[in-house]
Structure 1
Amino acid sequence: MTAAQTAISTKASANRQPAGARVGIPPRRVMMNFDNSDAGYWYADSPFLTYFWSAFSVLLPEGEQFFVEAVRHYRDQITDDDLKAAISGFIGQEALHTQGHQVLNDFINAKQLPAAELESQLKILLDNVGKIHPRLNLAATICLEHFTALMGEQLLAEADHHGSVAEDIRPLWMWHALEETEHKAVAWDVYQQTGGGYIVRTATMALTTAILGAVMAYSTARLMHADGKLLNVRDNVAGMRALFGRRGRMTRLLPKYLDFFRPSFHPNDHDTNALVTEWREKLFGANGAMNGLLKGANIH
């Protein structure tokens, strides 16, 4: 092959690559299947913690579609090529997360738990919120992306955290945590570059935090009630301590959560480059643990 042919071939390969991959946000089509899973209480063998994380999963398909639409609405206003590529990567990753968590939600629903009902209720809520104003949709997106980035970082960084997830359920959460960390600044940068301001984002964060807390409490309680575990006091107290106690997982996120309210804050102020590099290699490197679950993906 001549030098000219090699150059043409290289350019053609680059053109076939998803735009997001060029800026470190590659959509990865991971094929999840829990048909043969016998996982019961799949987080730390705890009903409370399992249903807390199950409630989070139930929120994700509708929530991430909301994020995609909020960012897509402003895509035509972006002129920076790298950010446009990052938006494509963000949309692709979030769309694929929706598919992955729907598989887990179907697994939860098959246990005679009200996952589908909760998803329907959330859709009604988000459909009504989405009618208010595109700017508020994007502001809510950067708030919720802040939560998912912090939770994803923690899941990747803490071995006792991801080690508590049942082995056959764990790949979904690790893949999702990695990609939330990879694209954590995309919606933020779109918000900033399209005129988003400090007062709107911080007021939206206060409201979003309250609503998310209420929705998570309601959804967790509904799942626990359906399984007859709502009054399991010992496990509930232990689970609350694990999340919200003095050294609880959510409690330890509070300082980084509060960073959002600094006028000069940017998601990349929380340096996760080394963590992302480590987990890209572990999951999708040459000997990546999840390579066998991958299919080609190019979603924009």
Structure 2
Amino acid sequence: MTFLFTCPHCQSQTEVEDEYSGRTGDCVVCGREITMPEFAGSRRMGNRPGKRNKSAIWFVAAGLALLLIGAGLIAAVQVGSRTAKKIRTGRQRLSSIKNLEKIALALNAYAADHGVYPAPYTVDAAGRKLHSWRVTILPYLGEDGLYNQIDKDVPWNEGENQMLLYSQTPAVYRHPESSSWGTGTVYHLVTGAGTLFPSTGPLGPRQVTDGATKTILLAEGQMNTMTESWMEPYDLDIGSVGGLINPPSGNGLGGATDGGVCVATVEGSGYFLPDTTPPLTVQALITPTGGEPLSDDVLDEWASTQP
């Protein structure tokens, strides 16, 4: 067993085995004669139970404190990250809904002047698609200057129109997340049999018998539905949309905004519908004359379930 001995001459400390207890010899530092004391009852080097235990306790306590602080910081970062994401998502939804409401207002202004909504696209004498309804309603969005620059007699991607494809995009057609999307848009009409925009020609607000507050006028589409340009005559077909939000096909409603889809009704109000909205409810909201039994506040009910 090792003990700590202090030389009475040079005050140097040396570790001494207990077998040298009581012996006489020379100090290994100063060389002067020293006599080892009887180590029985002396304090052994590095063997101070009370102090060692206290030190161990302090080390354990300090370690636990650091672990708790670390865990707290990690939890705070995670909560902060989730909160920031939730705020960011909420802002995206609100901005997208505002865009949809502005577009719905323009569509309704057009319908007020013409009795019906604009056709999804214009055609030439040969039936060739020329321009999207997004071009048709530009004057109702305050974009008269841009509207006058577009040659409506040739397709959206030909002639002088090519110069406008990527240079000018009305802000209202840009999704909040579209900074890297070029000039494409994900704001679409839903077309086809039983919708506001059947192949026989568009309907008007007065022909909506299911209620203006319970009929979707336009909506966001999934990323696969993004147009090459906002001028491109492309929309969502009821056959591919069905009643699912964010369907596996990637060609339906949703996708642009996390967790659901932003829509605007014939009445002009915008809403966010979560992925959990029943398909039958979505289908009923798309049809303007289906007669499906929906409550007057159906959109408010489902919008209130959003995360």
Question: Which TM class, normalised by the smaller chain length?
Answer: under 0.3
Q: Give the TM-score normalised by the residue count of structure 2.
A: 0.23
Greater length-normalized contact order (CA 8 Å, ≥ 6 residues apart): 1
Q: Comparing both structures, which one devotes a greater share of its residues to strand?
A: 2
Q: Comparing both structures, which one devotes a greater share of its residues to helix?
A: 1
